[in-house]
Structure 1
Amino acid sequence: MKEKKLILIRHAKSSWKYDVSDIDRPLKKRGVTDASIISKAFKEKEYTVNKIYSSPAN
Protein backbone atom coordinates (compact mmCIF):
# COMPACT_ATOMS: atom_id res chain seq x y z
CA MET A 1 0.00 0.00 0.00
CA LYS A 2 1.35 3.42 -0.97
CA GLU A 3 1.96 5.89 1.83
CA LYS A 4 -0.39 8.88 1.92
CA LYS A 5 0.60 12.33 3.13
CA LEU A 6 -1.31 15.46 4.00
CA ILE A 7 0.78 18.57 3.42
CA LEU A 8 -0.42 21.95 4.68
CA ILE A 9 1.24 25.06 3.32
CA ARG A 10 0.62 28.59 4.51
CA HIS A 11 0.09 31.24 1.89
CA ALA A 12 3.05 33.19 0.56
CA LYS A 13 4.00 36.69 1.69
CA SER A 14 1.51 39.29 0.43
CA SER A 15 1.97 42.98 -0.21
CA TRP A 16 0.28 45.60 1.96
CA LYS A 17 1.25 48.54 -0.25
CA TYR A 18 -2.07 48.43 -2.15
CA ASP A 19 -5.38 49.56 -0.69
CA VAL A 20 -7.34 46.44 -1.69
CA SER A 21 -9.27 43.72 0.12
CA ASP A 22 -7.35 40.65 1.30
CA ILE A 23 -8.72 38.52 -1.53
CA ASP A 24 -7.26 40.94 -4.12
CA ARG A 25 -3.93 41.52 -2.37
CA PRO A 26 -1.00 40.55 -4.63
CA LEU A 27 2.08 38.63 -3.55
CA LYS A 28 5.34 40.36 -2.72
CA LYS A 29 8.42 39.35 -4.73
CA ARG A 30 9.38 37.17 -1.75
CA GLY A 31 6.01 35.40 -1.99
CA VAL A 32 6.59 34.57 -5.65
CA THR A 33 10.14 33.39 -4.88
CA ASP A 34 8.96 31.23 -1.96
CA ALA A 35 6.27 29.64 -4.13
CA SER A 36 8.92 28.72 -6.70
CA ILE A 37 11.15 27.22 -4.00
CA ILE A 38 8.37 25.02 -2.61
CA SER A 39 7.43 23.93 -6.13
CA LYS A 40 11.01 22.81 -6.80
CA ALA A 41 11.12 20.96 -3.45
CA PHE A 42 7.96 19.02 -4.37
CA LYS A 43 9.50 18.10 -7.72
CA GLU A 44 12.76 16.93 -6.11
CA LYS A 45 10.84 14.74 -3.64
CA GLU A 46 8.75 13.42 -6.55
CA TYR A 47 5.48 14.11 -4.73
CA THR A 48 2.35 13.21 -6.65
CA VAL A 49 -0.37 15.72 -5.83
CA ASN A 50 -3.88 14.30 -5.98
CA LYS A 51 -5.85 17.30 -4.74
CA ILE A 52 -5.21 20.94 -3.96
CA TYR A 53 -7.58 23.04 -1.88
CA SER A 54 -6.93 26.74 -2.13
CA SER A 55 -8.64 30.01 -1.41
CA PRO A 56 -9.64 32.17 -4.38
CA ALA A 57 -7.30 34.95 -3.20
CA ASN A 58 -4.53 36.23 -5.41
Structure 2
Amino acid sequence: MTLLTRSCALGALVLLGGYLFGALLQHDWAFMHWPLPVRLTVIVFALAVVAVWLLVHLFVRDQD
Protein backbone atom coordinates (compact mmCIF):
# COMPACT_ATOMS: atom_id res chain seq x y z
CA MET A 1 0.00 0.00 0.00
CA THR A 2 1.16 3.50 -0.70
CA LEU A 3 1.37 6.13 2.00
CA LEU A 4 -1.73 7.93 0.70
CA THR A 5 -3.79 4.72 0.57
CA ARG A 6 -2.70 3.74 4.06
CA SER A 7 -3.47 7.20 5.43
CA CYS A 8 -6.91 7.28 3.82
CA ALA A 9 -7.78 3.82 5.12
CA LEU A 10 -6.64 4.78 8.60
CA GLY A 11 -8.69 7.98 8.49
CA ALA A 12 -11.79 6.11 7.33
CA LEU A 13 -11.46 3.62 10.17
CA VAL A 14 -11.07 6.38 12.74
CA LEU A 15 -14.13 8.24 11.41
CA LEU A 16 -16.14 5.01 11.52
CA GLY A 17 -14.97 4.54 15.10
CA GLY A 18 -16.11 8.08 15.92
CA TYR A 19 -19.51 7.37 14.36
CA LEU A 20 -19.92 4.21 16.45
CA PHE A 21 -18.66 6.02 19.57
CA GLY A 22 -21.36 8.65 19.03
CA ALA A 23 -23.97 5.91 18.80
CA LEU A 24 -22.66 4.38 22.02
CA LEU A 25 -22.96 7.74 23.79
CA GLN A 26 -26.59 7.95 22.70
CA HIS A 27 -27.30 4.32 23.68
CA ASP A 28 -28.84 3.90 20.24
CA TRP A 29 -27.35 1.14 18.11
CA ALA A 30 -30.19 1.37 15.59
CA PHE A 31 -28.98 4.87 14.56
CA MET A 32 -32.55 6.18 14.65
CA HIS A 33 -31.89 9.56 16.27
CA TRP A 34 -29.28 11.08 13.99
CA PRO A 35 -27.80 13.59 13.62
CA LEU A 36 -25.99 13.96 16.90
CA PRO A 37 -26.45 17.17 18.90
CA VAL A 38 -24.19 19.93 17.59
CA ARG A 39 -21.85 20.06 20.59
CA LEU A 40 -21.36 16.27 20.60
CA THR A 41 -20.78 16.29 16.82
CA VAL A 42 -18.03 18.90 17.20
CA ILE A 43 -16.39 16.95 20.04
CA VAL A 44 -16.48 13.63 18.16
CA PHE A 45 -15.15 15.26 14.97
CA ALA A 46 -12.35 17.00 16.85
CA LEU A 47 -11.35 13.75 18.56
CA ALA A 48 -11.41 11.94 15.21
CA VAL A 49 -9.16 14.59 13.61
CA VAL A 50 -6.67 14.41 16.47
CA ALA A 51 -6.70 10.60 16.38
CA VAL A 52 -6.12 10.50 12.60
CA TRP A 53 -3.25 12.99 12.86
CA LEU A 54 -1.68 11.09 15.74
CA LEU A 55 -2.02 7.65 14.12
CA VAL A 56 -0.64 8.85 10.77
CA HIS A 57 2.20 10.70 12.51
CA LEU A 58 3.14 7.61 14.54
CA PHE A 59 2.63 4.78 12.05
CA VAL A 60 3.13 6.14 8.52
CA ARG A 61 6.79 6.43 7.62
CA ASP A 62 8.15 8.81 5.00
CA GLN A 63 9.42 7.06 1.88
CA ASP A 64 12.43 9.00 0.64
The TM-score by the shorter chain falls in which range? 0.3 to 0.5
The TM-score with structure 1 as length reference comes to 0.37
Q: Which protein has the bigger helix share?
A: 2
| Higher relative contact order, chain-length normalized (CA < 8 Å, sep 6+) | 2
